[in-house]
């Protein structure tokens, strides 16, 4: 049940078998699986419990409601915008629905180089999660105009691509997924696993921020949390006593929580990967309305050859934007910016996502807010340049007349006869072109060695029995593909591991 208002004031206390902190792709899955198995689960979520009727498709309302820092979170130097969801369901509420399983070459690296055990359990976990989320492949007939053109353009150039698998049922193709689905078609955790947890008796605390975990001498742990009202005004305090605590606050929130609690060792907050991305924008001769229809329904994986090299590559994904988002992604101000924005109906983007070797750090900064340091290494910058050049060529082959490469100073607007060598000459690095990340991961990684990893193969902290991590922060390396389904499958596997060890783990 969603804990009623009357129980939220003052100093509150409850006992549970398991306390889960964060309700996104990882937290919702462990909470539902453990509650359905009969454990008493408390699920704490710092954001609100929104209804689909709250999603009014307006950027100025939805960014503050659904995103961390209203969508303005970034690396410390401001160079890379980091998009993360906030609210019951986490980032699955405002993501694009693409579901790609962890590629085998990546899992082999996790096993071979990081000592992660029993990854052969993952295919079953993927199958269960995909069934629950209604994952299916998008058909060619469902592609919107941008995705259709990009598929044609990349095929003409001989590049490998795929129709994506998505978790949407009854989608009316409105295109608003990032602003929350008003039609409950997106099978986010908010409409799938969280209601399952609720039906199985989990106590769900929205607007409840896990502040720290205190480790009990006899194994019983205490989670201290603060309760807020709908406008984030302080409301009360919550103390949850539980033998098992699961941190699922995402790849930025979980390391902060562990650091505030003095848990996890020196590797906490290290090895943060971002899948940093740059988008170039094609201007097509006629309106293509790229913002309508199913976003990101096709992707090009020609340049992600993980069998050959599991540590590098780029994925190219068609992308569209809403007016304010687009204004922040295009170069210039005033008349210059308007000269691009006036083509709104004719613009379609191609995003180059880097499977990054570069790794950053997360720690608490001013007022406990995250301080995220990240800089792209030389090899990743080269991958990015190659990816962006391919993106420009694919947009031309897709019918774009010109392509905007949005350098903040002297942007390039390239026609096919211009070629792409100017991108080589200028290079790409943080601060000179907008970069973003919607996939933070890896800041509390799994592994066999406590010196270089935070959790073992099933997410339990090396240094604290009974405290687990179940979210994207456990990835030992960058995944290279969209991470939601892998996060959920690993969480399903951790839940089964906890149940296998129950009731001993609960004593």
Ligand X SMILES: Cc1cc2nc3c(=O)[nH]c(=O)nc-3n(C[C@H](O)[C@H](O)[C@H](O)COP(=O)(O)OP(=O)(O)OC[C@H]3O[C@@H](n4cnc5c(N)ncnc54)[C@H](O)[C@@H]3O)c2cc1C
Give me the least distance between CB of 47 and ligand X, in Å please: 4
85 contributes a contact to ligand X by CB under 6 A: yes
Question: Which one-letter DSSP state was computed for residue 98?
Answer: B
Q: Which residues of 250-261 are buried (b: 16+ CB within 10 A; e: fewer)?
A: bbbbbbbbbbeb
Stretch that binds ligand X, among 96-104, 234-242, 301-309, 499-507 (CB under 6 A): 96-104
Rounded to 5°, the CA angle 365-368-369 comes to 65
Stretch that binds ligand X, among 2-10, 86-94, 355-363, 447-455 (CB under 6 A): 86-94
Cβ 89 vs Cβ 26: under 8 Å: no
* Interface map 15-54 toward ligand X (x if CB under 6 A): ------xxxxxxx----------------xxxx-------
The span from the CA of 21 to the CA of 57, in Å, is 28
292 contributes a contact to ligand SF4 by CB under 6 A: no
Q: Could you say which residues in the range 144-173 bind ligand SF4, by CB under 6 A?
A: 168, 171-173
181 contributes a contact to ligand SF4 by CB under 6 A: yes
Determine which helix (DSSP H) or strand (DSSP E) holds 435, and give its type and residue range.
Answer: strand 435-437
Q: Could you say which residues in the range 260-319 bind ligand X, by CB under 6 A?
A: 296
Instruction: State both tokens at 132.
Output: 């629950």
189 contributes a contact to ligand SF4 by CB under 6 A: no
Give me the least distance between CB of 96 and ligand SF4, in Å please: 8
79 contributes a contact to ligand SF4 by CB under 6 A: no
Stretch that binds ligand X, among 101-109, 249-257, 350-358, 456-464 (CB under 6 A): 249-257
Which of ligand X, ligand SF4, none has residue 174 at its interface (CB below 5 to 8 Å by kind)?
ligand SF4
354 contributes a contact to ligand X by CB under 6 A: no
Question: Of these, 185, 304, 385, 414, which contacts ligand SF4 (CB under 6 A)?
Answer: 185
Give me the least distance between CB of 5 and ligand X, in Å please: 18
225 contributes a contact to ligand SF4 by CB under 6 A: no
3-state secondary structure 271-310: CEECCCEEEEEEECCCCCCCCCCCCCCEEECCCCCCCCCC
Stretch that binds ligand SF4, among 106-114, 179-187, 198-206, 380-388 (CB under 6 A): 179-187
Give me the least distance between CB of 139 and ligand SF4, in Å please: 14
What sections of 45-161 are H helices per DSSP?
A: 59-66, 104-114, 122-133, 145-156
Nearer to ligand X, 24 or 293 (CB): 24
467 contributes a contact to ligand X by CB under 6 A: no
What sections of 15-144 are H helices per DSSP?
A: 27-36, 59-66, 104-114, 122-133
Q: Which residue has the tokens 């000592």?
A: 115
The set of residues, in sequence order, having a beta carbon less than 8 Å from that of 321 and lying 6+ positions away, is 291, 329, 349
Distances in Å between the alpha carbon of 252 and those of 22, 30, 38, 246, 271?
Answer: 12, 19, 30, 15, 12
Which of ligand SF4, ligand X, none has residue 181 at its interface (CB below 5 to 8 Å by kind)?
ligand SF4
Handedness of CA 495, 496, 499, 500 (dihedral sign): negative
Please state whether 277 falls in left (phi above 0), alpha (psi between -120 and 50) or beta.
beta
Which of ligand SF4, ligand X, none has residue 457 at its interface (CB below 5 to 8 Å by kind)?
none
Q: Could you say which residues in the range 65-84 bind ligand X, by CB under 6 A?
A: 83-84
Which of ligand X, ligand SF4, none has residue 185 at its interface (CB below 5 to 8 Å by kind)?
ligand SF4
Which of ligand SF4, ligand X, none has residue 173 at its interface (CB below 5 to 8 Å by kind)?
ligand SF4
What sections of 115-224 are H helices per DSSP?
A: 122-133, 145-156, 193-199
Q: Which residues of 28-50 are buried (b: 16+ CB within 10 A; e: fewer)?
A: bbbbbbbbbeebbbbbbbbbbbb
Question: Of these, 159, 183, 344, 407, which contacts ligand SF4 (CB under 6 A)?
Answer: 183
Nearer to ligand SF4, 185 or 404 (CB): 185
Which of ligand SF4, ligand X, none has residue 172 at its interface (CB below 5 to 8 Å by kind)?
ligand SF4
Give me the least distance between CB of 293 and ligand X, in Å please: 15
CB count in 10 Å sphere of residue 354: 28
Phi, psi at 290, each rounded to 5°: -60, -20
Q: Could you say which residues in the range 424-443 bind ligand X, by CB under 6 A?
A: 438-439
- Pair type for strands 347-354 and 277-283: antiparallel
Q: Which residues bind ligand SF4 (CB under 6 A)?
A: 168, 171-177, 181, 183, 185-186, 294
Which residues of this chain interact with ligand X, rule CB under 6 A?
21-27, 44-47, 83-87, 90-92, 94-98, 178, 209-210, 248-251, 253, 257, 296, 438-439, 471-472, 482-485, 487
């Amino acid at each position: 049940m969603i804990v009623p208002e009357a129980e939220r004031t003052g100093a509150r206390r409850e006992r549970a078998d398991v306390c889960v902190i964060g309700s996104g792709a990882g937290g919702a899955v462990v909470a539902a699986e453990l509650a359905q198995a009969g454990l008493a689960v408390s699920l704490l979520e710092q954001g609100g419990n929104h209804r689909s009727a709250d999603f009014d498709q307006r950027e100025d309302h939805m960014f503050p409601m659904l995103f961390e820092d209203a969508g303005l979170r970034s690396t410390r130097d401001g160079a890379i915008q980091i998009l993360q969801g906030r609210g019951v369901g986490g980032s699955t509420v405002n993501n694009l629905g693409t579901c790609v399983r962890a590629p085998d070459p990546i899992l082999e690296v996790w096993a071979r180089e990081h000592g992660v055990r029993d990854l052969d359990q993952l295919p079953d976990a993927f199958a269960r999660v995909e069934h629950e989320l209604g994952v299916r492949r998008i058909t060619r007939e469902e592609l919107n105009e941008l995705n259709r053109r990009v598929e044609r353009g990349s095929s003409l150039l001989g590049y490998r691509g795929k129709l994506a698998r998505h978790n949407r049922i009854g989608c009316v193709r409105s295109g608003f997924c990032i602003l929350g689905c008003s039609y409950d078609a997106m099978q986010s955790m908010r409409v799938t696993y969280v209601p399952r947890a609720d039906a199985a008796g989990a106590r769900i605390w929205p607007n409840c921020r896990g502040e720290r975990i205190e480790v009990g001498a006899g194994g019983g742990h205490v989670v201290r949390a603060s309760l807020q009202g709908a406008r984030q005004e302080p409301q009360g305090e919550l103390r949850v006593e539980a033998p098992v605590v699961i941190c699922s606050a995402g790849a930025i929130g979980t390391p902060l929580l562990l650091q505030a609690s003095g848990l996890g060792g020196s590797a906490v907050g290290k090895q943060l990967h971002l899948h940093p991305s740059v988008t170039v924008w094609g201007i097509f001769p006629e309106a293509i309305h790229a913002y309508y229809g199913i976003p990101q329904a096709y992707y090009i994986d020609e340049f992600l050859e993980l069998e050959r090299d599991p540590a590098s590559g780029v994925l190219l994904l068609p992308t569209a934007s809403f007016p304010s988002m687009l204004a922040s992604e295009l170069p210039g101000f005033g008349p210059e910016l308007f000269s691009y924005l006036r083509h709104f109906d004719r613009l379609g983007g191609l995003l180059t996502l880097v499977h990054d070797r570069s790794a950053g750090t997360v720690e608490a900064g001013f007022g406990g807010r995250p301080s995220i340091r990240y800089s792209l290494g030389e090899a990743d910058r080269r991958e990015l340049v190659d990816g962006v050049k391919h993106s420009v060529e694919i947009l031309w082959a897709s019918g774009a007349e010109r392509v905007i490469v949005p350098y903040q100073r002297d942007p390039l607007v390239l026609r096919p006869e211009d070629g792409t060598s100017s991108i080589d000459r200028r290079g790409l690095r943080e601060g000179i072109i907008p970069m973003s990340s919607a996939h933070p991961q890896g800041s509390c990684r799994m592994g066999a060695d406590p010196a270089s990893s935070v959790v073992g193969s099933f997410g339990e902290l090396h240094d604290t029995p009974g405290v687990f991590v179940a979210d994207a922060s456990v990835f030992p390396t960058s995944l290279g593909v969209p991470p939601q389904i892998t996060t959920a499958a690993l969480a399903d596997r951790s839940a089964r591991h906890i149940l296998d060890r129950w009731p001993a783990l609960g004593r």
